[in-house]
Every structure is written in C-alpha cells, then in structure tokens.
C-alpha cells in the first residue's frame, strides 16, 4: 500500500517533470541563440523567464553558458535575475567564464553581476576562468575587482587552479595583480607543489622566477623538490636545484629528496641529488 507521503512525493516529481517539459523549448532556444523564438515564448508565457530545468538551469544559464550575448541581453532586459544560481550554485557569470565567452562576461559585469559570488564548491568565476586558461577573461574579472586570492572549499586560490592545468599566461596575470604565490591549500600545497605534481616544468620555472618560496612545505613536510624526486622528474629536480632548492630539507618523517628518490628506485634522480648534496 502506497502511503500518503509517497503519493505527494510522486506528484511533486511528476509536476516538476511536466514543468520542465513545458519549459524545454525556451531552454533550447536560449542555448541556440534563437532570439525571435525566445521573444515569442516569453510573450506567450512571461513566467518562463524564471523557469528551471535540469540541474537548476534557467534560460539565462543556458544562454550565458552557450555565449549567446543577444539572448542574455534580452533576458536581463525582461526581468531575468542576473545572479540566480543553479543547483551547483553557479551563476550565468560562472558559466560564461568557464566556457570562455568573453563578450558575455563583459556584458554581465557591465550589467551588475557579482564577480566574487561563489558556487557550492566556493569557487568564483575567476577560479573557473583561471582553471580553463582564459587569460582575457581573467584580466576582465580582475579589472572588475575579482578577489585574486579567493579560496574554494579545498582552500585553493585561482593561482592553484591555473598551476594544476599549466596556464602560464594566467599565472603571469595573477602574479602581477597581487596573487599570493605561497598560499597553501587544505593539504598544505602551494601552487609550486601542484605545478610539480602535474609535471608543468614551465609553470614551476615561472613561479620560481616570480618569487615563490622554492622550499615551501606542504602538510606532509614535502617540498616541491621532494615531489619531483618521488616522481623521477629529473628536469624539474635540476630546475629547482638551480633556483635554490635545498636538497638537505627533510619532510615530517625525516626523509630528504635523495632518500625518497632512492626509495622509489629513481637512480638518475638520486645521482643528481647526491651531486647537489656535495656542493
């Protein structure tokens, strides 16, 4: 026997599905940039401006995420909430920044979108643009007073995300605009740790040139040199040593980079470190 609460739940689900099905034409029209169709649908049913579909996307989310500038402009002029969030807490600006739509980003900012608004992972639009390597959008967001040192739920800043994905141009911009080069995430990793972990030697070199602490330790006491030795990244080991990395530094268990290299069977790496220890 189906209980009353179950019936209510089923009715709620069916109602939500029916509403989404009814609204789906405007979602596709917004995504595809069919402005005339959007105008017609909203004229018939103005409430569609606030319709939510899968993942909580509104017409504005669909248009902004697809870079449909004219549709975005029309929706905003007709009452769309510029800072409305989807189920993941993302706004139109998050989506436009993530997908690289500079013109839409510029317009949203000009219309008053909150540049430091955070999604459920506490990521700002700047995190999104930095992680995707969209230097022009990063510059635009910074000009609009985005916080270059904003922290997400893993305590990562936009610099961390740029380092993970190897975006040197973005790192140049962030560093020139006050990014903390030695900010540490929840695991204690600085951007330099992440550059080494993801084998971006160009990023590691850039960060070192910009003044990042070459001997910074993470939560385990590991320096970037430790990580490079563990992974057998001889080019990065040589780079870090040339930039002043101390091969004698020990981690929380008393292990040096040389000891880690030997433990991992990185013979060539170990030899590089032995020579460095003798200097």
pLDDT in tens, 134-152: 999 999 999 999 999 999 9
Give the per-residue pLDDT at 11.
32
Q: Kindly state the tokens that stand for 48.
A: 């569609």
Is 5's pLDDT higher than 60?
A: no
For the residues 209-215, what does the mean pLDDT come to? Answer: 97
CA distances from 202 to 65, 159, 240 (A): 31, 15, 12
How far, in Å, CA of 75 to CA of 184, rounded?
A: 40
Give the per-residue pLDDT at 122.
98
Cα dihedral: 54, 58, 63, 64 (round 10): -100
Find all residues with CB under 8 Å of 174, minimum gap 6, and list them.
130, 138, 142, 148, 158, 159, 162
Give the per-residue pLDDT at 279.
72
How sure is the predictor about 20, in pLDDT bands with cuts at 50, 70 and 90?
A: very low
Is 126's pLDDT higher than 60?
A: yes
Find all residues with CB under 8 Å of 18, minimum gap 6, and list them.
none
**Superfamily of domain 24-114, CATH level 4:** Ankyrin repeat-containing domain (1.25.40.20)
Is 16's pLDDT higher than 90?
A: no
Degrees, nearest 5: CA angle 27-31-37: 65
How far, in Å, CA of 203 to CA of 212, rounded?
A: 11
Mean pLDDT across the chain = 92
Give the per-residue pLDDT at 82.
98
How far, in Å, CA of 85 to CA of 67, rounded?
A: 17
Using alpha carbons, select from 94, 155, 99, 103 the residue that is nearest to residue 126.
94
How sure is the predictor about 54, in pLDDT bands with cuts at 50, 70 and 90?
A: confident
Can you give the pTM of this predicted structure? 0.89
């Amino acid at each position: 026997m189906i209980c009353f609460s179950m019936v209510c739940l089923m009715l709620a689900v069916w109602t939500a599905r029916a509403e989404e099905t009814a609204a789906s034409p405007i979602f596709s029209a917004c995504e595809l940039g069919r402005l005339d169709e959007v105008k017609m649908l909203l004229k018939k049913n103005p409430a569609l401006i606030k319709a939510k579909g899968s993942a909580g996307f509104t017409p504005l989310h669909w248009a902004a995420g697809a870079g449909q500038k004219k549709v975005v402009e029309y929706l905003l002029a007709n009452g769309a909430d510029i800072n409305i969030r989807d189920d993941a807490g993302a706004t139109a600006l998050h989506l436009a920044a993530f997908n690289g739509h500079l013109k839409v980003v510029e317009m949203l900012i000009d219309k008053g979108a909150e540049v430091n608004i955070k999604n459920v992972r506490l990521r700002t639009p700047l995190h999104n643009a930095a992680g995707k390597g969209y230097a022009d959008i990063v510059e635009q967001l910074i000009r609009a007073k985005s916080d270059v040192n904003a922290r997400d739920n893993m305590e990562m800043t936009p610099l961390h995300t740029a380092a993970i994905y190897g975006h040197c141009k973005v790192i140049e911009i962030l560093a020139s605009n006050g990014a903390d080069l030695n900010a540490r995430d929840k695991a204690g990793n600085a951007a330099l740790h992440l550059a080494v972990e993801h084998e971006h030697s160009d990023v590691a070199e850039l960060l070192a040139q910009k003044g990042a602490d070459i001997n910074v330790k993470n939560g385990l006491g590991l320096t970037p040199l430790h990580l490079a030795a563990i992974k057998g990244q001889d080019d990065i080991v040589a780079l870090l040593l040339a930039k002043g990395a101390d091969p004698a530094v020990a981690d929380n268990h008393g292990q040096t980079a040389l000891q880690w290299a030997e433990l991992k069977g990185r013979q060539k790496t170990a030899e590089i470190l032995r020579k460095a220890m003798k200097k």
